[in-house]
Amino acid sequence: MFEWNWMTKDDAIAIAKWEYEEPYHFYNMTEDEDDLEEWLNPFNWKHTLVAYKDGELVGFATFRYKANNEVEVSLGMRPDLTGKGFGRQFVEQVNNEACHRYRATCLIVNVAAFNERAIAVYERAGYRKVAAFLQQTNHSNYPFVKLKKRIHMEASK
């Protein structure tokens, strides 16, 4: 179980320093100056939760309310915790936070297409692929996959 809090300056700086190994270095905040600047802007923190376990920062989730109770979620785990079997539990708790805080009835995630590990975690958590698209990031266009999960209202109460 994770403890969720709104992101602070210290959290944002700590997460910005996370360094993932290849091929996941794509997710390093320092790979794209614009992404890093956006991440460190306090105005953007009002929709980002950070997860702590045993007093240690382990992940984050940013929520963007779309329309019709759809919420787009961007999330990340500390690099040394990825690939160790914590992903599904983390995603499920992020889903619970989105439902509780935003009354979401549909969750959306966009994942770099090469990240088969993350896509598998989302699919095990009930997400389904709905689209493929190019997204500009890290100074180029990269293939991404959009996944959605419908939430029944009973589950979001």
Angle 55-58-60 from CA coordinates, rounded to 5°: 120
Three-state SS for 11-36 is HHHHHHCCCCCCCHHHHCHHHCHHHH
- Report the DSSP beta bridge partners of residue 53: 56
Q: Are 132 and 144 in contact (CB under 8 A)?
A: yes
DSSP SS3 for 104: coil
Per-residue pLDDT of the chain (157 residues; tens, 9 = 90+): 899 999 999 999 999 999 999 998 888 888 888 889 999 999 988 999 999 999 999 999 999 999 889 999 999 999 999 999 889 999 999 999 999 999 999 999 999 999 999 999 999 999 999 999 999 887 778 999 999 999 875 444 4
pTM: 0.90
Q: For the chain, which domains are there?
A: 3-156 (3.40.630.30)
- Return the DSSP state at 45: G
